Structure 1
Amino acid sequence: MRLFPNAHATHPQWHMAAVLVLAQLRAQMALPQYASAPTLGLLYITDHYADDAAALLDLLRRELPTVTDWAGAVGVGVAGNNVEYFDEPALSLMLCDLPRAHYRVFSGVAPLAHGDAAGVGFAAHTALVHADGQTPELADLVAEMAGRTSSGYLFGGVVASRGAQVQLALPAGGEGDGVLHGGLSGVAFDAQVELVSRVTQGCQPIGAQAAITAAQDNVVLELDGEPALDVLLDTLGVTLQGDAQAALRAVRATLAGLEDADAPQRQRTGHFGADTRVRHIVGLDATRSGVALGDHVEVGMRLAFCQRNVGAARADLMRICAEVREELSPQLEEAQALPAAGSAPHAEPAGGRRICGALYVSCSGRGGPHFGGPSAELQIVRHALGDVPLAGFFAGGEIAAHRLYGYTGVLTVFVAPDGAL
């Protein structure tokens, strides 16, 4: 595999943005280190273009005839290498250099079969998943989809839009315009497509982790045998009998980090791991001294109250980037140091594994403003990984393994060992 061509642009008119992107892609595809005939397009658009998604995809398909399969989604923002576009009309596109035998585009129209049940010689190992957040029992659907892969690992995110909740999924020879609504869609990859994926958290615990010892539906009633509401208020250092408004403001700024009962115990109390799902506090039950969360809870789960934290988010993002580099080292460390501005990407170490492209799905509540400035989040990724091709979007929820997350980022890189594929 060679480097995946990628491009991004913003323009009030979708057609002009597409023209700008196509010019960038053609320039890259003429370079020897980039793929000249990629097959899979991953397209992400901001919701400004949602109503024109079919026309946009049709134009790209006509102008990029080697790209036979397409997938993508709409977000309130999209990401490219070193840049993010929030609240403006923009698109980000990456063209993957993968043999068609090693992936399948799926959707409700063309569902993914269990293993090789369809007799087509393809068995899903991992999958990129785009989801509609309004789909009933979405968490269960995500878990069921993970069960259709041999690794049980998914990566992706929930569509985020102030208008049409658009997903894009069009396999080679598929019918229709490729624009879908509802359910799940994406791309499944077999075991020959090597991926490295990590989850980064955006919140920091503000109290000790405790076991849920009593609960009903989405209401936590007891933590380590103590009334959950009392634990929350003690953690925040407030009371409802004093300045109730100040107490409620503190509660509104607080979230809950949940872990399943069988998740590994967290070793560092100051940081969340990948098994933690951050959920909103949606209400207080004064009668039962309970705390209502935006998710179903069960006895045995572990909970730690938390708050969004810029410093923790930056440190955790740098941590996962370092873990990706370490997994590909030592060759990557030597060959993918940050290049000078304008230079060609250094992503092909001699005799080692290399990053051909990266996909980053981040929460719509993160982005540059949360990290201290415009595009700061993507600049951290570029500084850590180097000038590798990257596309992605800002989602209404993130997908990793078999779970739905919030306030996280999911970084996935496509890796090519020498001679692979």
Structure 2
Amino acid sequence: MSRDAESHSAAPFRAAHGAGDSWQTAAGEIIRQLGALDQSYRLGVIYVTPPFARNLREIEVLLRQATGVPHWIGSVGYGVIATGVEVVEAPAIAVMVLPIPEAAFRVFDGVVDETDGVTRSHADWLGETAAPLILAHADTGNRMVPGLIRDLVEETDGFMVGGLACASGVGAQLADGPTGGGLSGVMLAPDRTPLQTGVSQGCTPIGAVHTVTQSEGPVLLEIDDRPALEVFKRDLGEPLASRLEQVAGRIFAGLPVPGADDRDYLVRPITGIDVDHGALAITQGVEPGDPILFCRRDSRAAVEDMRAMLADLKRRIGGRPVRGAHYVSCAARGPHQFREPEREHQLIREAFGDAPLVGFFANGEISNDRLYGYTGVLTLFF
């Protein structure tokens, strides 16, 4: 996604993080790091880890009162990400404040089973705003979320980034107060918030894009008019083709996104291999004619793909300085996939320096109109 208008504010984005046994200690450290803020800071983003989930509202109240920033959105992640740090499995808070005028954004919440309320409430603003960026948080317990994402993107002609919270229900999200149960977040006007977004799959394709020619729901019977398992083993090569018991957690199916570039595909686990019938099962239904590929997921593939995504973003922003960054990573990535702590934000820092950064580890990641898994979604503001 590209938004190339000039910024209307020279004030810097500011990010901070805090940790400690109490939320008051962590929030106090954030207030100290942020320092004095002028009236140009109108929007804040808060992420907390599960130990502070029940205190999310209190944290927002304290930060609003201490900083003077009036509008806040946020959620609960398995871990939080801030400039120079990732914190998982420990109580922590990560925050960013954005110097964006109130005319340039609209906070929304309450998207539980339909999106009409958002488009009605903000009809005038949307009528004057072309293709907003929608930074959204979603409830993992709401099965309608994938459809709500598609509907809101279509109805606003926007582009959505964000992720699924690791907590559910009212109070698991913030959008000018506690909310939850569906989608909430903020819509940003592109003429005031120029940006670029990119998706890292954490995988590397191991063969060509194929075509499903026979299937039953999530069971692949034939690919390219040949038994699905035969095509799979050919892409695997030796020694994995003769050691299929080692495939789990290493090799995945990729479902290319129609109309997107060749790096954009939905990663889905392989859940079964039927040697007798030459079939494979994955976690999503497919139909004859659908494209499919197979991909490797490990620490090397994750680094390779992350660097490729960052290089593409760097090319697209054309040397303009990055004022702030927002990053959502799958909970199955981070140290679990990269094999060392804080590797993802280190790679971002290598590409874009010490730009203020905030983010969280999610239960699923949103890019444009789709819910992904195993990905990292980076948004750069410049």
TM-score by length of 1: 0.79
Letter in 2 for 1:326: R
Shift of 1:101: 0.9
In angstroms, what is the RMSD of aligned CA positions?
A: 2.8
User: Could you say which residue in structure 2 is the equivalent of 1:91?
Assistant: 93
SS at match of 1:3: coil
Aligned to 1:55: 58
The Cα offsets for residues 155-188 of structure 1, whole Å up to 9 and x where unpaired, read as 1111125x878543333xxxxxx22222111111
Please give the secondary structure, in 1, of the residue aligned with 2:123: coil
Is the contact made by 2:208 and 2:293 (CA closer than 8 Å) also made in structure 1?
Answer: yes
Change (3 A) 1:187 1:116: closer
| 2-structure distance, mates of 1:364, 1:392 | 12
Q: Distance in 2 between matches of 1:24 and 1:5?
A: 9
Distance in 2, matches of 1:120 and 1:400, equals 20
Matches of 2:224 and 2:145 in 1, distance apart?
Answer: 30
Aligned to 2:185: 186
Partner of 2:160: 154
In structure 2, give the amino acid aligned to 1:291. Answer: L
Whether the aligned pair in 2 keeps the contact of 1:203 and 1:307 (CA below 8 Å) is: yes
Q: Is the 8 A contact 1:77 1:393 kept in 2?
A: yes
Q: Which amino acid aligns with 2:361?
A: F
Q: Return the offset for 1:360.
A: 0.7
Q: Mapping of 1:370-385 within 5 angstroms?
A: 370-385=337-352
Note if contact 1:166-1:180 (Cα within 8 Å) is conserved in structure 2: yes
In 1, the alpha carbon distance for the partners of 2:182 and 2:194 equals 26
Contact 1:260 1:301 in 2 (8 A): no
User: Is this contact kept in 1: 2:257–2:266, CA < 8 A?
Assistant: no
Aligned-partner residue type, residue 195 of structure 2: L
Aligned counterpart for 2:140 among listed residues 118, 133, 139: 133
Counterpart contact for 1:115–1:122, Cα < 8 Å = no
* Displacement of 1:128: 0.7
Distance in 2 of aligned mates of 1:286 and 1:372: 32
- Match of 1:279? 268
Alpha-carbon deviation of 1:90?
Answer: 0.6
Instruction: Show the counterpart of 1:229.
Output: 229
* Matched residue, 2:102: 100
Distance 1:369 1:250, change over 3 A: closer
Q: How does 1:147-296 map to 2 (within 5 A)?
A: 147-150=154-157, 152-161=158-167, 167-171=172-176, 178-192=177-191, 193-236=193-236, 247-264=244-261, 266=262, 273=263, 275-284=264-273, 289-296=278-285
Residue 69 (structure 1) aligns with: 71
User: Do the aligned partners of 1:198 and 1:320 also contact (CA within 8 Å) in 2?
Assistant: yes
Identity of aligned residues (%): 36
Q: How many residues are matched?
A: 367
Structure 1 pair 160–82 and aligned structure 2 pair: CA distance change class (3 A): same
Deviations 1:114-154 (A, max 9, x none): 6963578653522111112221133222111211332x421
Look up the SS of the partner of 1:379 in the other structure.
Answer: helix
Task: Output the TM-score relative to the length of structure 2.
Answer: 0.87
